[in-house]
Amino acid sequence: MSRVYNFSAGPAVLPEEVLKEAADEMLDYEGSGMSVMEMSHRSKVYDNIIKTAEQDLRDLMNIPDDYEVMFLQGGASTQFAMIPMNLMKNKVADYIVTGQWAKKAYQEACIYGDAKAVASSADKTFSYIPDCSDLPIRDNADYVYICENNTIYGTKFKKLPNTKGKTLVADVSSCFLSEPVDVTQYGLIYGGVQKNIGPAGVVIVIMRKDLITEDTLPGTPTMLKYKIHADAKSLYNTPPAYGIYICGKVFKWIKKMGGLEVMKQRNEEKAKVLYDFLDSSEMFHGTVVKEDRSLMNVPFVTGNEELDARFVKEADAAGFKNLKGHRTVGGMRASIYNAMPREGVEALVEFMRKFENK
């Protein structure tokens, strides 16, 4: 067996320990005589899996009791619709557009009501986070929406926007559990788990309970009502059971590593190795404003498309996988999520150095 250094933006690298444990339990989960894939989601054994996963997530993020935790399906993209359908009471929402995912969420919200882009960094190909200290947030806005870490462009909000008292909704897909968060600053936090937590197919929603109501837009499908899932404790229908089980294992792994403070420190150290190199290299350059750099997704270029392509090809052959930048951006992107070991980043930098010298 040989494992590569996988810099994929998602689905992405998971902790080896977790994968091994899951493999060990594949045929017989804790004496049940069956795989978690094969068991009823209404069984006692599974009930324990999902409850433990929720509790561990609550512990890690310090989630207060007045917030609901939901394990849903449909990926992050389904939330682009579910959020306006459930939260647009006035049919007014303000969006901060810092990349493609934020833009898609904004465009989806336009289907349901009066969504407005109150700030954007599209003018400089999303290479920075706009100043959000005094935005023209509308008085009747139901919420203010951000994509906190921009997976494709490699920027991250280091400071949350001033929402002028409005509910903050955040897509944290690509920075989930990468550092401590103050959950109380948000009305709703959500993320697809395939970037930093588990297998694709699960989306986690953390939502303040007073926002979860029967009052949704007319025509909202039952499956897209938060209230249905909150009341049923994520078991309204068959949940993505196996995916949640793996998420639970990753929560345990993060706990064992020391929690989110330790994750943050590790991630900062790891990212610094790569950013320091990019800042000193004559060939490779980061594409993002320094203050807004993501700890998770690091895009870079040589400035020459042919050279970029050669680098990606040679890196791949040397065991550094999935470094090609997003199809809309080009260049390279190294996603260095929680489960990417520091040695992986160091080895990549060493490879880049050699490539440059050659």
Ligand X SMILES: *Cc1c(COP(=O)(O)O)cnc(C)c1O
Give the binding site for ligand X (CB under 6 A).
Answer: 10, 75-77, 101, 147, 151, 171, 173-174, 192, 195
Q: Which is nearer to ligand X, 191 or 331 (CB)?
A: 191
Task: Judge whether 134 counts as a catalytic residue.
Answer: no
CA 318 to chain centre: 28
Partners of 206 in beta bridges: 69, 189
Shortest separation between residue 300's beta carbon and ligand X, angstroms: 18
Task: Judge whether 195 counts as a catalytic residue.
Answer: yes
> CA 221, 224, 229: angle at the middle one, nearest 5?
120
Q: Which is nearer to ligand X, 57 or 296 (CB)?
A: 296
Q: Which is nearer to ligand X, 155 or 302 (CB)?
A: 155
Distances (CA, A) of 274 to 110, 277, 280, 342: 38, 5, 10, 10
Shortest separation between residue 176's beta carbon and ligand X, angstroms: 9
Measured from each CB, the residue nearest to ligand X is 75
Crossing angle of helices 260-280 and 342-357, in 10° steps, is 0
Task: Judge whether 279 counts as a catalytic residue.
Answer: no
Shortest separation between residue 136's beta carbon and ligand X, angstroms: 24
How many CB atoms within 10 Å of residue 18? 19
Give Cβ neighbours of residue 345 (< 8 Å, ≥ 6 apart): 270, 271, 273, 274, 334, 336
Give Cβ neighbours of residue 343 (< 8 Å, ≥ 6 apart): none
Shortest separation between residue 194's beta carbon and ligand X, angstroms: 6
Q: Which is nearer to ligand X, 80 or 112 (CB)?
A: 80
Active-site residue identified among 94, 171, 292, 308: 171
Active-site residue identified among 156, 195, 252, 270: 195
- 75: region left, alpha or beta (phi > 0 left; psi from -120 to 50 alpha): left
End-to-end CA distance of the chain: 31
Q: Which is nearer to ligand X, 167 or 174 (CB)?
A: 174
Shortest separation between residue 3's beta carbon and ligand X, angstroms: 23
Active site residues: 101, 171, 195
